[in-house]
Amino acid sequence: MNTQTDSMIGFSAAITEQRALTVFLVFASLCIGSFIGLQLDQYLDIACVVRGTCYGDEGIIYSASLIHPMVFKLLFSSLVLMAMALSLKVLTPFEALQSTGLFSELNIAHIKKLASVLFASGVFFLLLSLPLMVYTLSV
């Protein structure tokens, strides 16, 4: 009975760690992607207003300035989320962590599954941002 309680506590701790990892990855990707989108928005403002090259010009800066800043933030946040999930799955030294006893085989499988789900979520939001970009350009 004591062994079953210990395994339940261990499983609960693993789920809690994975939730914390999920929240951290999503929050970090939103922050980094929003920062990149904000920097791009600032650049487009400077290129359009200060230089005066945007209005009346049909170049790429004019087209990009028509896209809403939130769409840029969604685009870059999804790209960063995909990169972070892929790096979690590929670059984390799971064998070394398992040999030191920090992770069990079950925890590694759950973390890899979590990385796959986060990558798929990033792809979904990337595919969502592309039609939004086309829609804002056509309006």
Write out pLDDT tens, residues 2-29.
565 655 555 455 455 677 888 888 899 9
Please return the burial class of 58, using the count of CB atoms within 10 Å of its CB with bins 0-12, 13-18 and 19+. exposed
Structure tokens at 105: 């085989």
pLDDT recorded at residue 79: 93
Q: What is the CA radius of gyration of the chain?
A: 21
Check if the beta carbon of residue 57 is closer than 8 Å to that of residue 47.
no
pLDDT recorded at residue 76: 92
pLDDT at 119 over 70: yes
Token pair 């990149």 in the structure block, residue: 36
The predicted-structure confidence for 54-70, as pLDDT tens digits, reads as follows: 666 667 777 777 788 88
pLDDT recorded at residue 58: 64
* Nearest by Cα to 30 from 121, 127, 114: 121
pLDDT recorded at residue 52: 60
Structure tokens at 117: 């789900």
